[in-house]
């Protein structure tokens, strides 16, 4: 039984952190267990086929083309990427407006951003402050200006990047989950992949396939948001940041529409509430995807306190606004998805982005600039820098050089990130997200001063709290959500269907969650999840209820890991199959 929660603001008592999941990071670290001859040996192993991982593979492939002798020294498979989704892009979801600077650095002077499948440059943009009935256009804040940036589907961009990586000789292994970090003599030596074909109780089914030890000279973790092995590695090597990481949850839809949208739109205000005690931070985006589609989404900070808040239902509510529904009128919803976004910023980066044999890059390291709503170009640049450090380490020791030279070369990656534009950009906005913990209006004033001064004016380092440390309250919020009509507004289960979810009903549960919890906490989990994974499964007894988990609904957004549970990797190939998001 967990300890009782301490009284919170206004007498609030229940905090998710007081009911931790049955999970130990140390259970996911170990020595290789396969016989030596059965292990899969690679030179560099990248975990995750997102922008960071694929950019790392592309840059490393470019360097191997220029240094064939090192490629030969790395064996039959000098470079491999493993991806837990059905294919690269399956689990990628974002807005996405992308700053092209990193793609240009990655591919060189002959590269044309227009040759990448996408939806062209941002032509016009609006930022609006909403009330329940009206919208007021406001001047675009400097961090949100998108002149020179391009609109992409991140899942489509991921598939394009994977093709470029394969052209350079990279082996991509889809439907492969990395479940355990392999560490020997204090150094990361690879990962173990998950079993396939186990039943709901862990039994071996007729199609059972055991996982494998994949051993590598260098392992690059580019798992994306809420990376499983990234958190395991940070715990094991003492890399946890000075400030805890915090998260936003984004829920997004793609629509085919009758009329083209001529601008990108960001909104603030309604349907979120401004009272500081509720800690509701976020906004929405609406972007054109060519002349026939638009994408729209709602993003909300996961440090909110109201157990009735549901980001999925806030998105449905947003669509009923007089400014929004005419954009969608007569259209058809094509795809839906959800994903968390790291928002802690500079002070929530790992203490070091490298460890013996290991590099960490992209969203799993927290490389996202929340004020600018950008992270993809940081992921691409971090992947490029990781490849160059891995290459330098391998080249320095290809003739048996000492381990200190190897690790020194890997350590150059951390310095390159922090001294380059990733570190500079994140430092300039280091306290902006934390400012909104003081309420929407005061937070807006503080963050505005920080933005104008590019971080030079600050009121001092602001305290950051874990999302699951927030005490909960309950309002009548859920009574105000619109009823699903199947035309403009939709329920969670029909939305999961449009994610293309591929999770087997009879595989083991991959979600770790305390089972006997206060009603307020259980209700928060039910509303939190955009995919209808959690249900209250019993009548209250002594104020506690049990929670039923429908793990096959899970789209692996990661929200539960921020709010008291723990997502672990399901069987490879499970989860959503995004194609437009």
Tell me how far apart the terminal alpha carbons of the chain are, to the nearest angstrom. Answer: 41
pLDDT at 430: 83
Rounded CA separation 371/144 (Å): 7
pLDDT at 142: 87
The proportion of the chain whose per-residue pLDDT surpasses 90, expressed as a percent, equals 86
CA 252 to chain centre: 14
Rounded CA separation 349/234 (Å): 11
pLDDT at 442: 54
Answer for the pair 371, 447: CB distance below 8 angstroms, yes or no.
yes
Q: Residue 129: name the closest of 144, 107, 113 by CA.
A: 144
- Residue 266: CB atoms within 10 A of its CB come to 21
Domains of the chain, first to last: 31-94+156-241+349-428 (3.50.50.60), 119-149+245-343+466-581 (3.30.9.90), 432-463 (no CATH)
| Residues of the chain predicted below pLDDT 50 | 1-12
Give alpha helix (H) positions in 429-528: 432-435, 440-452, 492-497, 519-528
pLDDT at 1: 39
Total count of residues recorded for the chain: 581
For 85, the token pair is: 């989704």
What SS3 class is residue 125? strand
What SS3 class is residue 393? helix
Residues 567, 568, 571, 574: is their CA dihedral positive or negative?
A: positive
What SS3 class is residue 325? helix
Please report where in the chains the tokens 């509303």 appear, as a residue.
527
Beta strands in 102-233, from DSSP E residues, in sequence order:
125-130, 135-138, 150-151, 171-173, 178-184, 187-193, 196-198, 204-209, 213-221
Please report where in the chains the tokens 């959500």 appear, as a residue.
481
Q: How many CA atoms lie within 13 A of 294 on its CB side?
A: 25
Q: What is the DSSP letter of 142?
A: G
For 129, the token pair is: 């402050």
């Amino acid at each position: 039984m967990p300890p009782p929660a301490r009284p919170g603001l206004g007498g609030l008592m229940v905090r998710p952190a007081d009911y931790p999941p049955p999970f130990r990071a140390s259970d996911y670290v170990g020595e290789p267990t396969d016989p030596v001859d059965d292990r899969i040996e690679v030179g560099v192993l990248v975990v995750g086929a997102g922008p960071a991982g694929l950019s790392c593979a592309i840059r490393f492939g470019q360097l191997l083309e220029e240094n064939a002798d090192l490629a030969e020294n790395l064996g039959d498979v000098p470079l491999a990427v493993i991806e837990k989704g059905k294919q690269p892009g399956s689990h990628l979801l974002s807005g996405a407006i992308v700053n092209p600077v990193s793609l240009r650095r990655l591919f060189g002077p002959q590269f044309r951003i227009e040759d990448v499948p996408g939806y062209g440059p941002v032509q016009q943009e609006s930022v609006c402050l909403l009330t329940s009935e009206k919208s007021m256009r406001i001047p675009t804040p400097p961090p949100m200006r998108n002149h020179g940036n391009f609109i992409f589907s991140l899942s489509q961009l991921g598939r394009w990047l994977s093709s470029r990586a394969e052209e350079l000789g990279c082996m991509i292994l889809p439907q492969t989950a990395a479940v355990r970090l392999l560490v020997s003599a204090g150094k990361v030596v690879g990962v173990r992949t998950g079993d396939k074909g186990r039943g709901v109780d862990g039994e071996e089914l007729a199609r059972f396939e055991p996982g494998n030890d994949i051993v590598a000279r260098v392992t690059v973790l580019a798992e994306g948001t809420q990376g499983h092995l990234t958190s395991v590695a940070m715990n094991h090597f003492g890399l946890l940041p000075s400030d805890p990481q915090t998260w936003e949850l984004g829920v997004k839809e793609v629509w085919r529409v009758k009329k083209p949208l001529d601008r990108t739109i960001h909104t603030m205000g309604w349907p979120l509430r401004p009272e500081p005690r509720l800690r509701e931070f976020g906004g929405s985006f609406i972007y054109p995807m060519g002349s026939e589609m638009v994408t729209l989404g709602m993003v909300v900070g996961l440090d909110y306190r109201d157990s009735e808040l549901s980001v999925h239902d806030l998105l449905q509510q947003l669509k009923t606004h007089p400014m929004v529904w005419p954009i969608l009128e007569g259209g058809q919803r094509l795809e839906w998805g959800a994903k968390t976004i790291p928002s802690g910023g500079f002070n929530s980066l790992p203490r070091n982005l490298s460890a013996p044999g290991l590099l960490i890059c992209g969203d799993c390291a927290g490389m996202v600039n929340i004020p600018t709503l950008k992270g993809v170009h940081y992921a691409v640049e971090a992947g490029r820098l990781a490849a160059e450090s891995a290459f330098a380490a391998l080249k320095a020791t290809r003739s048996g050089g000492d381990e200190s030279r190897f690790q020194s070369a890997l350590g150059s990656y951390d310095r390159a990130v922090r001294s380059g534009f990733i570190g500079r950009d994140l430092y300039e906005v280091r306290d902006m997200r934390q400012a909104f913990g003081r309420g929407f209006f005061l937070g807006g004033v503080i963050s505005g001063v920080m933005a104008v001064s590019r971080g030079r004016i600050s009121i001092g380092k602001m305290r950051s709290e874990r999302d699951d440390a927030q005490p909960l309250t309950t309002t009548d919020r859920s009574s105000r959500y619109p009823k699903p009509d199947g035309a403009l507004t939709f329920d969670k289960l029909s939305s999961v269907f449009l994610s293309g979810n591929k999770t087997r009903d009879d595989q083991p549960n991959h979600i770790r969650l305390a089972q006997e919890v206060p009603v307020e906490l259980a209700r928060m989990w039910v509303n939190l999840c955009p995919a209808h994974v959690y249900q209250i499964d019993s009548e209250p007894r002594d104020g506690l209820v049990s929670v039923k988990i429908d793990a096959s609904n899970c789209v692996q957004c990661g929200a539960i890991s921020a709010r008291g549970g723990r997502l672990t990797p399901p069987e490879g190939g499970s989860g959503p199959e995004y194609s437009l998001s």
